[in-house]
Structure 1
Protein backbone atom coordinates (compact mmCIF):
# COMPACT_ATOMS: atom_id res chain seq x y z
CA UNK A 1 0.00 0.00 0.00
CA UNK A 2 1.27 3.46 -0.94
CA UNK A 3 2.13 5.84 1.91
CA UNK A 4 -0.49 8.43 2.80
CA UNK A 5 1.37 11.34 1.16
CA UNK A 6 1.90 9.39 -2.07
CA UNK A 7 -1.77 8.37 -2.20
CA UNK A 8 -2.92 11.95 -1.78
CA UNK A 9 -0.99 13.00 -4.89
CA UNK A 10 -3.35 10.63 -6.72
CA UNK A 11 -6.49 11.48 -4.75
CA UNK A 12 -6.20 15.26 -5.19
CA UNK A 13 -6.22 15.30 -9.04
CA UNK A 14 -9.02 12.72 -9.05
CA UNK A 15 -11.22 14.82 -6.79
CA UNK A 16 -10.35 17.92 -8.84
CA UNK A 17 -11.39 16.18 -12.05
CA UNK A 18 -14.70 15.09 -10.50
CA UNK A 19 -15.37 18.65 -9.32
CA UNK A 20 -14.70 19.86 -12.85
CA UNK A 21 -17.07 17.28 -14.35
CA UNK A 22 -19.73 18.33 -11.85
CA UNK A 23 -19.32 21.94 -12.97
CA UNK A 24 -19.72 20.86 -16.60
CA UNK A 25 -22.88 18.91 -15.86
CA UNK A 26 -24.43 21.89 -14.05
CA UNK A 27 -23.30 24.86 -16.14
CA UNK A 28 -22.41 23.14 -19.39
CA UNK A 29 -19.06 22.37 -20.94
CA UNK A 30 -17.10 19.64 -22.63
CA UNK A 31 -16.15 16.91 -20.11
CA UNK A 32 -12.48 16.90 -21.18
CA UNK A 33 -12.19 20.66 -20.77
CA UNK A 34 -13.92 20.88 -17.39
CA UNK A 35 -12.07 17.82 -16.04
CA UNK A 36 -8.64 19.20 -16.95
CA UNK A 37 -9.48 22.60 -15.51
CA UNK A 38 -10.72 20.86 -12.36
CA UNK A 39 -7.46 18.96 -12.01
CA UNK A 40 -5.22 22.00 -12.31
CA UNK A 41 -7.40 24.19 -10.10
CA UNK A 42 -8.57 21.70 -7.47
CA UNK A 43 -5.48 19.54 -6.98
CA UNK A 44 -3.08 22.37 -5.95
CA UNK A 45 -5.64 23.70 -3.47
CA UNK A 46 -6.13 20.28 -1.87
CA UNK A 47 -2.39 19.62 -1.78
CA UNK A 48 -1.89 23.03 -0.16
CA UNK A 49 -4.48 22.29 2.53
CA UNK A 50 -2.83 18.95 3.31
CA UNK A 51 0.56 20.62 3.73
CA UNK A 52 2.06 19.02 0.62
CA UNK A 53 2.42 22.24 -1.38
CA UNK A 54 3.81 25.62 -0.26
CA UNK A 55 4.13 24.13 3.21
CA UNK A 56 6.20 26.95 4.76
CA UNK A 57 3.78 29.62 3.56
CA UNK A 58 0.83 27.61 4.90
CA UNK A 59 2.46 27.19 8.32
CA UNK A 60 3.35 30.88 8.43
CA UNK A 61 -0.23 31.98 7.71
CA UNK A 62 -1.71 29.49 10.18
CA UNK A 63 0.40 31.00 12.98
CA UNK A 64 -0.84 34.51 12.18
CA UNK A 65 -3.79 36.29 13.83
CA UNK A 66 -7.19 35.16 12.55
CA UNK A 67 -7.89 38.24 10.33
CA UNK A 68 -4.43 37.98 8.75
CA UNK A 69 -4.86 34.23 8.29
CA UNK A 70 -8.25 34.68 6.60
CA UNK A 71 -7.00 37.34 4.16
CA UNK A 72 -3.79 35.42 3.38
CA UNK A 73 -5.69 32.19 2.79
CA UNK A 74 -8.22 33.89 0.48
CA UNK A 75 -5.40 35.54 -1.49
CA UNK A 76 -3.62 32.18 -1.77
CA UNK A 77 -6.77 30.49 -3.06
CA UNK A 78 -7.37 33.21 -5.65
CA UNK A 79 -3.77 33.04 -6.87
CA UNK A 80 -3.91 29.24 -7.15
CA UNK A 81 -7.24 29.31 -8.98
CA UNK A 82 -6.06 31.92 -11.51
CA UNK A 83 -2.69 30.22 -12.04
CA UNK A 84 -4.22 26.74 -12.26
CA UNK A 85 -6.79 27.89 -14.79
CA UNK A 86 -4.06 29.55 -16.88
CA UNK A 87 -1.96 26.35 -16.91
CA UNK A 88 -5.00 24.25 -17.79
CA UNK A 89 -5.99 26.66 -20.58
CA UNK A 90 -2.49 26.55 -22.06
CA UNK A 91 -2.51 22.75 -22.07
CA UNK A 92 -6.01 22.61 -23.58
CA UNK A 93 -5.09 25.06 -26.34
CA UNK A 94 -1.71 23.61 -27.29
CA UNK A 95 -2.46 19.95 -26.66
CA UNK A 96 -6.11 19.68 -27.69
CA UNK A 97 -6.71 22.71 -29.89
CA UNK A 98 -9.33 24.20 -27.59
CA UNK A 99 -10.13 27.89 -28.27
CA UNK A 100 -8.73 29.95 -31.12
CA UNK A 101 -5.84 31.37 -29.11
CA UNK A 102 -4.05 30.71 -25.82
CA UNK A 103 -5.31 33.91 -24.18
CA UNK A 104 -8.94 32.94 -24.70
CA UNK A 105 -8.23 29.45 -23.36
CA UNK A 106 -6.78 30.91 -20.19
CA UNK A 107 -9.74 33.20 -19.50
CA UNK A 108 -12.14 32.25 -16.70
CA UNK A 109 -15.80 33.13 -16.39
CA UNK A 110 -17.18 34.73 -13.23
CA UNK A 111 -19.35 31.64 -12.71
CA UNK A 112 -16.34 29.36 -13.02
CA UNK A 113 -14.31 31.44 -10.59
CA UNK A 114 -17.13 31.56 -8.02
CA UNK A 115 -17.65 27.80 -8.35
CA UNK A 116 -13.94 27.06 -7.88
CA UNK A 117 -13.74 29.34 -4.84
CA UNK A 118 -16.91 27.87 -3.31
CA UNK A 119 -15.84 24.24 -3.78
CA UNK A 120 -12.40 25.08 -2.37
CA UNK A 121 -13.96 26.69 0.71
CA UNK A 122 -16.20 23.64 1.23
CA UNK A 123 -13.26 21.22 0.89
CA UNK A 124 -11.21 23.33 3.32
CA UNK A 125 -14.04 23.28 5.86
CA UNK A 126 -14.28 19.48 5.62
CA UNK A 127 -10.50 19.12 6.04
CA UNK A 128 -10.46 21.40 9.10
CA UNK A 129 -13.33 19.53 10.77
CA UNK A 130 -11.60 16.23 9.99
CA UNK A 131 -8.36 17.52 11.52
CA UNK A 132 -10.21 18.75 14.61
CA UNK A 133 -12.04 15.46 15.20
CA UNK A 134 -9.46 13.03 13.84
CA UNK A 135 -9.92 10.91 10.69
CA UNK A 136 -11.48 7.91 12.44
CA UNK A 137 -13.86 9.94 14.60
CA UNK A 138 -14.89 12.09 11.62
CA UNK A 139 -15.62 9.05 9.44
CA UNK A 140 -17.45 7.22 12.23
CA UNK A 141 -19.66 10.22 13.05
CA UNK A 142 -20.34 10.74 9.36
CA UNK A 143 -21.68 7.21 8.84
CA UNK A 144 -23.20 6.92 12.32
CA UNK A 145 -21.24 3.80 13.23
CA UNK A 146 -21.40 4.45 16.97
CA UNK A 147 -24.79 6.15 17.07
CA UNK A 148 -25.86 3.20 19.18
CA UNK A 149 -23.30 1.83 21.69
CA UNK A 150 -21.49 -1.28 20.52
CA UNK A 151 -19.06 -3.69 22.16
CA UNK A 152 -15.74 -4.19 20.40
CA UNK A 153 -12.18 -5.25 21.20
CA UNK A 154 -9.54 -2.56 20.91
CA UNK A 155 -5.88 -2.03 21.67
CA UNK A 156 -5.02 1.06 23.70
CA UNK A 157 -1.75 2.98 23.97
CA UNK A 158 -1.19 5.60 26.64
CA UNK A 159 1.83 7.68 25.61
CA UNK A 160 3.01 9.97 28.40
CA UNK A 161 5.50 12.80 27.90
CA UNK A 162 8.10 12.49 30.66
CA UNK A 163 9.32 15.63 32.43
CA UNK A 164 6.53 17.94 31.22
CA UNK A 165 5.94 19.37 34.70
CA UNK A 166 9.63 20.21 35.10
CA UNK A 167 9.66 21.75 31.61
CA UNK A 168 6.68 23.96 32.53
CA UNK A 169 8.38 25.06 35.75
CA UNK A 170 11.55 26.02 33.86
CA UNK A 171 10.02 27.59 30.75
CA UNK A 172 6.47 28.59 31.69
CA UNK A 173 3.05 27.24 30.81
CA UNK A 174 2.86 28.84 27.36
CA UNK A 175 6.19 27.34 26.29
CA UNK A 176 5.14 23.97 27.73
CA UNK A 177 1.93 24.05 25.73
CA UNK A 178 3.85 24.83 22.53
CA UNK A 179 6.24 21.99 23.35
CA UNK A 180 3.42 19.49 23.89
CA UNK A 181 1.64 20.72 20.77
CA UNK A 182 4.74 20.07 18.67
CA UNK A 183 5.19 16.62 20.22
CA UNK A 184 1.62 15.55 19.55
CA UNK A 185 1.82 16.93 16.01
CA UNK A 186 4.89 14.73 15.44
CA UNK A 187 2.93 11.73 16.74
CA UNK A 188 0.33 11.97 13.97
CA UNK A 189 2.37 10.42 11.15
CA UNK A 190 3.66 7.35 13.09
CA UNK A 191 0.10 6.66 14.25
CA UNK A 192 -1.19 7.01 10.71
CA UNK A 193 1.48 4.66 9.37
CA UNK A 194 0.49 2.13 12.03
CA UNK A 195 -3.18 2.59 11.02
CA UNK A 196 -4.15 3.71 14.52
CA UNK A 197 -6.26 6.60 15.77
CA UNK A 198 -5.36 9.40 18.19
CA UNK A 199 -8.56 9.50 20.20
CA UNK A 200 -7.78 12.03 22.91
CA UNK A 201 -5.20 14.18 24.67
CA UNK A 202 -5.24 14.46 28.45
CA UNK A 203 -2.65 16.90 29.74
CA UNK A 204 0.73 15.52 28.66
CA UNK A 205 -0.67 12.14 27.61
CA UNK A 206 -2.01 10.96 24.25
CA UNK A 207 -4.53 8.14 23.93
CA UNK A 208 -4.10 6.05 20.79
CA UNK A 209 -6.20 3.04 19.83
CA UNK A 210 -6.47 0.34 17.19
CA UNK A 211 -8.96 -2.27 16.17
CA UNK A 212 -7.62 -5.67 17.16
CA UNK A 213 -7.02 -6.67 13.55
CA UNK A 214 -5.05 -3.55 12.64
CA UNK A 215 -3.07 -3.26 15.86
CA UNK A 216 -1.86 -6.85 15.93
CA UNK A 217 -0.80 -7.00 12.28
CA UNK A 218 3.02 -7.16 12.39
CA UNK A 219 2.81 -5.73 15.94
CA UNK A 220 1.76 -2.36 14.49
CA UNK A 221 0.80 -0.98 17.90
CA UNK A 222 4.34 -1.60 19.21
CA UNK A 223 6.05 -0.43 16.04
CA UNK A 224 4.15 2.85 16.33
CA UNK A 225 5.91 3.62 19.62
CA UNK A 226 9.42 2.98 18.32
CA UNK A 227 8.67 4.68 15.00
CA UNK A 228 7.62 7.79 16.91
CA UNK A 229 10.75 7.74 19.05
CA UNK A 230 12.94 7.42 15.96
CA UNK A 231 11.23 10.40 14.33
CA UNK A 232 11.89 12.49 17.45
CA UNK A 233 15.51 11.37 17.59
CA UNK A 234 16.01 12.22 13.90
CA UNK A 235 15.02 15.80 14.68
CA UNK A 236 16.85 16.02 18.02
CA UNK A 237 18.92 19.04 16.95
CA UNK A 238 15.78 20.89 15.92
CA UNK A 239 14.04 20.04 19.21
CA UNK A 240 17.03 21.25 21.20
CA UNK A 241 17.34 24.47 19.21
CA UNK A 242 13.64 25.26 19.45
CA UNK A 243 12.78 24.08 22.97
CA UNK A 244 16.09 23.36 24.67
CA UNK A 245 15.21 19.68 25.22
CA UNK A 246 14.51 16.48 23.31
CA UNK A 247 11.20 14.90 24.46
CA UNK A 248 11.22 11.56 26.30
CA UNK A 249 8.27 9.23 26.80
CA UNK A 250 6.73 6.31 28.60
CA UNK A 251 4.28 4.02 26.85
CA UNK A 252 1.74 1.50 28.17
CA UNK A 253 -0.29 -0.87 25.98
CA UNK A 254 -3.19 -3.15 26.78
CA UNK A 255 -6.21 -4.61 24.98
CA UNK A 256 -9.69 -5.87 25.75
CA UNK A 257 -13.42 -5.38 25.18
CA UNK A 258 -14.91 -1.90 25.54
CA UNK A 259 -18.25 -0.26 24.88
CA UNK A 260 -17.84 2.42 22.20
CA UNK A 261 -20.45 5.12 21.72
CA UNK A 262 -21.09 8.68 20.59
CA UNK A 263 -21.59 11.04 23.50
CA UNK A 264 -22.42 14.71 23.81
CA UNK A 265 -24.93 16.96 22.10
CA UNK A 266 -23.42 20.28 21.00
CA UNK A 267 -19.95 18.74 20.84
CA UNK A 268 -20.06 15.07 19.95
CA UNK A 269 -17.18 12.67 20.39
CA UNK A 270 -16.57 8.94 20.48
CA UNK A 271 -15.87 7.60 23.96
CA UNK A 272 -14.84 4.23 25.38
CA UNK A 273 -16.16 2.60 28.53
CA UNK A 274 -14.70 -0.48 30.17
CA UNK A 275 -11.97 -2.09 32.22
CA UNK A 276 -9.49 -2.23 29.31
CA UNK A 277 -9.15 1.55 29.19
CA UNK A 278 -8.83 1.86 32.98
CA UNK A 279 -6.22 -0.90 33.08
CA UNK A 280 -4.12 0.82 30.41
CA UNK A 281 -4.16 3.97 32.51
CA UNK A 282 -2.99 1.99 35.56
CA UNK A 283 -0.21 0.39 33.49
CA UNK A 284 1.05 3.83 32.50
CA UNK A 285 1.43 4.65 36.19
CA UNK A 286 3.11 1.29 36.79
CA UNK A 287 5.60 2.03 34.00
CA UNK A 288 6.60 5.19 35.84
CA UNK A 289 6.82 3.35 39.15
CA UNK A 290 8.99 0.56 37.69
CA UNK A 291 11.02 3.01 35.56
CA UNK A 292 10.22 1.02 32.41
CA UNK A 293 9.90 2.89 29.09
CA UNK A 294 7.50 0.56 27.23
CA UNK A 295 5.23 -1.72 29.22
CA UNK A 296 2.78 -4.20 27.68
CA UNK A 297 0.16 -6.42 29.28
CA UNK A 298 0.35 -10.17 28.93
CA UNK A 299 -3.15 -10.09 27.43
CA UNK A 300 -1.90 -8.03 24.51
CA UNK A 301 1.29 -10.06 24.09
CA UNK A 302 -0.81 -13.21 23.79
CA UNK A 303 -2.88 -11.60 21.04
CA UNK A 304 0.20 -10.37 19.20
CA UNK A 305 1.75 -13.83 19.08
CA UNK A 306 5.46 -14.14 18.24
CA UNK A 307 6.97 -10.67 18.09
CA UNK A 308 8.91 -9.52 15.01
CA UNK A 309 12.60 -10.41 15.13
CA UNK A 310 13.65 -6.84 15.97
CA UNK A 311 11.47 -6.62 19.10
CA UNK A 312 11.96 -8.41 22.39
CA UNK A 313 9.65 -8.77 25.41
CA UNK A 314 11.20 -9.02 28.88
CA UNK A 315 8.82 -10.69 31.35
CA UNK A 316 8.22 -8.62 34.49
CA UNK A 317 5.95 -11.20 36.12
CA UNK A 318 2.55 -10.78 37.75
CA UNK A 319 1.84 -7.35 39.20
CA UNK A 320 -1.15 -6.07 41.18
CA UNK A 321 -3.08 -3.42 39.30
CA UNK A 322 -5.40 -1.07 41.15
CA UNK A 323 -9.01 -1.76 40.30
CA UNK A 324 -8.46 -5.41 39.29
CA UNK A 325 -9.04 -8.40 41.56
CA UNK A 326 -6.40 -10.53 39.87
CA UNK A 327 -2.77 -9.48 39.24
CA UNK A 328 -1.82 -8.78 35.65
CA UNK A 329 1.12 -10.28 33.78
CA UNK A 330 3.23 -7.55 32.24
CA UNK A 331 6.39 -7.25 30.16
CA UNK A 332 8.81 -4.59 28.98
CA UNK A 333 9.34 -4.37 25.22
CA UNK A 334 12.44 -3.02 23.54
CA UNK A 335 14.29 -3.29 20.27
CA UNK A 336 16.87 -6.04 19.93
CA UNK A 337 20.50 -4.94 19.97
CA UNK A 338 19.79 -1.30 20.88
CA UNK A 339 22.08 -0.09 23.64
CA UNK A 340 19.93 2.94 24.38
CA UNK A 341 16.55 3.91 23.02
CA UNK A 342 16.61 7.69 22.51
CA UNK A 343 13.43 9.44 23.49
CA UNK A 344 12.22 6.71 25.86
CA UNK A 345 12.24 7.49 29.56
CA UNK A 346 13.31 4.96 32.18
CA UNK A 347 16.28 2.82 33.07
CA UNK A 348 14.95 0.08 30.82
CA UNK A 349 15.88 2.20 27.83
CA UNK A 350 19.53 1.67 28.61
CA UNK A 351 19.50 -2.10 28.70
CA UNK A 352 21.10 -4.13 25.97
CA UNK A 353 20.02 -7.53 24.73
Structure 2
Protein backbone atom coordinates (compact mmCIF):
# COMPACT_ATOMS: atom_id res chain seq x y z
CA UNK A 1 0.00 0.00 0.00
CA UNK A 2 1.07 3.59 -0.48
CA UNK A 3 0.97 4.14 3.29
CA UNK A 4 3.48 1.35 3.89
CA UNK A 5 5.70 2.64 1.07
CA UNK A 6 5.52 6.19 2.46
CA UNK A 7 6.52 4.94 5.90
CA UNK A 8 9.42 2.98 4.42
CA UNK A 9 10.72 5.83 2.24
CA UNK A 10 9.92 8.83 4.40
CA UNK A 11 7.97 11.83 3.16
CA UNK A 12 10.72 13.37 0.97
CA UNK A 13 11.60 10.19 -0.97
CA UNK A 14 7.93 9.19 -1.19
CA UNK A 15 7.11 12.58 -2.68
CA UNK A 16 9.88 12.11 -5.25
CA UNK A 17 8.52 8.65 -6.07
CA UNK A 18 5.06 10.06 -6.73
CA UNK A 19 6.54 12.88 -8.82
CA UNK A 20 8.43 10.32 -10.92
CA UNK A 21 5.29 8.22 -11.37
CA UNK A 22 3.26 11.21 -12.51
CA UNK A 23 6.09 12.22 -14.85
CA UNK A 24 5.88 8.72 -16.37
CA UNK A 25 2.12 9.12 -16.67
CA UNK A 26 2.61 12.08 -19.04
CA UNK A 27 3.34 10.12 -22.22
CA UNK A 28 0.36 7.85 -21.54
CA UNK A 29 -1.93 10.83 -20.97
CA UNK A 30 -0.89 12.35 -24.28
CA UNK A 31 -1.31 9.07 -26.17
CA UNK A 32 -4.79 8.42 -24.78
CA UNK A 33 -6.10 11.99 -25.00
CA UNK A 34 -6.74 12.27 -21.27
CA UNK A 35 -7.59 15.37 -19.26
CA UNK A 36 -5.89 15.42 -15.87
CA UNK A 37 -8.39 16.89 -13.45
CA UNK A 38 -6.18 16.89 -10.38
CA UNK A 39 -3.60 15.09 -8.33
CA UNK A 40 -4.73 14.16 -4.83
CA UNK A 41 -1.88 12.77 -2.78
CA UNK A 42 -0.75 9.64 -4.59
CA UNK A 43 -3.74 9.59 -6.95
CA UNK A 44 -4.36 11.18 -10.33
CA UNK A 45 -7.96 11.87 -11.31
CA UNK A 46 -8.32 11.56 -15.08
CA UNK A 47 -11.24 12.26 -17.36
CA UNK A 48 -12.28 12.08 -20.99
CA UNK A 49 -15.15 13.44 -22.97
CA UNK A 50 -17.32 10.35 -23.44
CA UNK A 51 -16.67 9.76 -27.14
CA UNK A 52 -12.93 10.32 -26.77
CA UNK A 53 -12.67 7.94 -23.81
CA UNK A 54 -14.64 5.22 -25.57
CA UNK A 55 -12.81 5.67 -28.89
CA UNK A 56 -10.28 2.83 -29.18
CA UNK A 57 -11.06 2.07 -25.53
CA UNK A 58 -8.72 4.86 -24.40
CA UNK A 59 -10.28 4.76 -20.93
CA UNK A 60 -9.13 1.13 -20.52
CA UNK A 61 -5.85 1.06 -22.42
CA UNK A 62 -4.60 4.16 -20.60
CA UNK A 63 -4.42 2.18 -17.36
CA UNK A 64 -2.61 -0.79 -18.88
CA UNK A 65 -0.20 1.39 -20.83
CA UNK A 66 0.70 3.23 -17.62
CA UNK A 67 1.44 -0.08 -15.90
CA UNK A 68 3.61 -1.02 -18.89
CA UNK A 69 5.61 2.22 -18.60
CA UNK A 70 6.12 1.60 -14.87
CA UNK A 71 7.22 -1.96 -15.61
CA UNK A 72 9.72 -0.79 -18.25
CA UNK A 73 11.17 1.59 -15.67
CA UNK A 74 11.18 -0.98 -12.87
CA UNK A 75 15.00 -0.99 -12.64
CA UNK A 76 14.93 2.78 -12.10
CA UNK A 77 12.28 2.55 -9.40
CA UNK A 78 14.03 -0.36 -7.70
CA UNK A 79 17.40 1.45 -7.73
CA UNK A 80 16.08 4.79 -6.45
CA UNK A 81 13.25 3.71 -4.16
CA UNK A 82 13.50 -0.05 -3.61
CA UNK A 83 9.90 -0.52 -4.78
CA UNK A 84 7.90 -1.14 -7.92
CA UNK A 85 4.97 1.31 -7.95
CA UNK A 86 1.53 0.01 -8.79
CA UNK A 87 -1.69 1.93 -9.20
CA UNK A 88 -5.33 0.86 -8.99
CA UNK A 89 -8.18 2.49 -10.85
CA UNK A 90 -11.95 2.73 -10.86
CA UNK A 91 -13.74 3.92 -13.98
CA UNK A 92 -17.34 5.01 -14.44
CA UNK A 93 -19.18 7.29 -16.84
CA UNK A 94 -21.52 10.17 -16.31
CA UNK A 95 -21.98 13.90 -16.46
CA UNK A 96 -19.51 16.29 -14.88
CA UNK A 97 -20.07 19.97 -14.25
CA UNK A 98 -16.92 22.09 -14.44
CA UNK A 99 -17.12 25.25 -12.35
CA UNK A 100 -14.86 27.91 -10.95
CA UNK A 101 -15.13 27.88 -7.16
CA UNK A 102 -13.73 29.93 -4.32
CA UNK A 103 -13.14 33.58 -3.56
CA UNK A 104 -9.79 33.90 -1.78
CA UNK A 105 -8.35 30.83 -3.51
CA UNK A 106 -9.99 30.10 -6.82
CA UNK A 107 -9.99 26.66 -8.36
CA UNK A 108 -11.65 24.75 -11.16
CA UNK A 109 -13.80 21.98 -9.68
CA UNK A 110 -15.31 18.97 -11.40
CA UNK A 111 -18.64 18.21 -9.77
CA UNK A 112 -20.84 15.20 -10.32
CA UNK A 113 -21.89 11.85 -8.97
CA UNK A 114 -19.59 10.10 -11.46
CA UNK A 115 -16.52 11.25 -9.51
CA UNK A 116 -17.81 9.80 -6.25
CA UNK A 117 -18.90 6.57 -7.93
CA UNK A 118 -15.54 6.09 -9.68
CA UNK A 119 -13.76 6.65 -6.36
CA UNK A 120 -16.02 4.11 -4.64
CA UNK A 121 -15.36 1.59 -7.42
CA UNK A 122 -11.61 2.15 -7.08
CA UNK A 123 -11.98 1.65 -3.35
CA UNK A 124 -13.12 -1.93 -4.00
CA UNK A 125 -9.92 -2.91 -5.86
CA UNK A 126 -8.04 -4.28 -2.84
CA UNK A 127 -10.88 -6.41 -1.51
CA UNK A 128 -11.70 -7.75 -4.98
CA UNK A 129 -7.99 -8.22 -5.77
CA UNK A 130 -8.22 -6.26 -9.02
CA UNK A 131 -6.05 -3.47 -10.39
CA UNK A 132 -8.80 -2.02 -12.57
CA UNK A 133 -12.53 -2.07 -11.92
CA UNK A 134 -15.26 -0.50 -14.04
CA UNK A 135 -19.00 -0.07 -13.75
CA UNK A 136 -21.44 -2.18 -15.73
CA UNK A 137 -22.77 1.04 -17.24
CA UNK A 138 -19.37 1.76 -18.76
CA UNK A 139 -18.92 -1.85 -19.90
CA UNK A 140 -22.13 -1.61 -21.94
CA UNK A 141 -20.76 1.40 -23.86
CA UNK A 142 -17.27 0.06 -24.61
CA UNK A 143 -16.54 -1.03 -28.18
CA UNK A 144 -15.53 -4.65 -28.77
CA UNK A 145 -11.83 -5.22 -28.13
CA UNK A 146 -10.11 -8.62 -28.29
CA UNK A 147 -7.46 -7.47 -25.82
CA UNK A 148 -9.91 -6.52 -23.08
CA UNK A 149 -11.47 -9.28 -20.99
CA UNK A 150 -14.16 -8.66 -18.39
CA UNK A 151 -14.66 -10.52 -15.13
CA UNK A 152 -18.01 -9.94 -13.41
CA UNK A 153 -17.22 -9.12 -9.78
CA UNK A 154 -20.80 -8.80 -8.60
CA UNK A 155 -23.56 -6.27 -8.14
CA UNK A 156 -23.18 -4.01 -5.13
CA UNK A 157 -24.60 -1.01 -3.38
CA UNK A 158 -21.55 1.20 -2.99
CA UNK A 159 -21.11 3.36 0.10
CA UNK A 160 -23.28 6.46 -0.12
CA UNK A 161 -25.31 5.07 -3.02
CA UNK A 162 -28.86 3.72 -3.13
CA UNK A 163 -28.87 1.81 -6.39
CA UNK A 164 -27.05 -1.41 -7.13
CA UNK A 165 -24.16 -1.23 -9.55
CA UNK A 166 -22.54 -4.07 -11.50
CA UNK A 167 -18.75 -4.08 -11.18
CA UNK A 168 -16.31 -5.72 -13.58
CA UNK A 169 -12.62 -6.45 -13.31
CA UNK A 170 -10.60 -5.91 -16.47
CA UNK A 171 -7.63 -7.82 -17.81
CA UNK A 172 -5.68 -7.06 -20.94
CA UNK A 173 -4.34 -9.90 -23.07
CA UNK A 174 -1.97 -9.72 -26.00
CA UNK A 175 -3.47 -10.35 -29.39
Q: Normalising to structure 2: TM-score of the pair?
A: 0.94
In the TM superposition, 1:284-303 aligns within 5 A as 284-303=122-141
8 Å CA contact 1:188, 1:198 repeated in 2: no
- How far has the Cα of 1:269 moved from its partner? 3.0
| Residue aligning to 1:262 | 100
Q: Deviations over 1:182-219 (max 9, x none)?
A: 11111111011100111111111110000001100010
| Residue aligning to 1:24 | none
8 Å CA contact 2:97, 2:111 repeated in 1: yes
Q: How many residues align?
A: 175
Larger radius of gyration: 1
| Residue aligning to 2:51 | 213
| Residue aligning to 1:116 | none
Q: Normalising to structure 1: TM-score of the pair?
A: 0.48
In the TM superposition, 1:207-286 aligns within 5 A as 207-265=45-103, 267-286=105-124
1:328 maps to which of 157, 165, 168: 165
Higher relative contact order (CA 8 A, sep 6+): 2
The range that moved more, 264-273 or 242-251, is 264-273
- How far has the Cα of 1:230 moved from its partner? 0.5
1:316 maps to which of 153, 156, 173: 153
- How far has the Cα of 1:303 moved from its partner? 1.6
Counterpart CA distance in 2 for 1:262 and 1:193 is 28
Counterpart CA distance in 2 for 1:209 and 1:337 is 25
Counterpart CA distance in 2 for 1:167 and 1:277 is 26
Q: Decide which structure has greater strand share.
A: 2
Counterpart CA distance in 1 for 2:110 and 2:62 is 21
Counterpart CA distance in 2 for 1:310 and 1:205 is 26
8 Å CA contact 1:312, 1:335 repeated in 2: yes
| Residue aligning to 1:83 | none
8 Å CA contact 1:196, 1:208 repeated in 2: yes
Counterpart CA distance in 1 for 2:107 and 2:62 is 24
8 Å CA contact 2:56, 2:143 repeated in 1: no
Runs of 5+ unmatched residues, structure 1: 1-162, 339-353
8 Å CA contact 1:318, 1:327 repeated in 2: yes
| Residue aligning to 1:73 | none
Runs of 5+ unmatched residues, structure 2: none
Counterpart CA distance in 1 for 2:88 and 2:4 is 16
In the TM superposition, 1:102-141 aligns within 5 A as none
| Residue aligning to 1:169 | 7
Q: Deviations over 1:50-80 (max 9, x none)?
A: xxxxxxxxxxxxxxxxxxxxxxxxxxxxxxx
In the TM superposition, 1:16-35 aligns within 5 A as none
| Residue aligning to 2:22 | 184
- How far has the Cα of 1:248 moved from its partner? 1.1
